[in-house]
Structure 1
Amino acid sequence: MSMSVSLRRKNRPQAFYQGRPKMRLYLVRHGEAVSEEVNPERPLSQRGRLDVEKMGRFLRRAKLKVDLIWHSGKVRALETAQILGGALFVKDPPVTRQGLAPLDPIKLIENQLRKREEDLMIVGHLPFLGKLASSLVSGSSSPDLVTFQAGGVACLERLEGGSWRLEWILSPGLL
Structure 2
Amino acid sequence: PFFLTPASMNDLTGLAGMLHDKGYYSAFFHGAQNGSMGFEAFARATGYDKYFGRTEYNADPKGGGDADFDGMWAVWDEPYLQHVVRMVNGFKQPFVASVFTASSHHPFKVPEQYAATFKDEGGQPIHKCVRYTDMALRKFFEAASKQPWYKNTVFVLV
TM bin (shorter chain): 0.3 to 0.5
Instruction: Report the structure, 1 or 2, having the larger helix content.
Output: 2
TM-score by length of 2: 0.41
TM-score by length of 1: 0.38
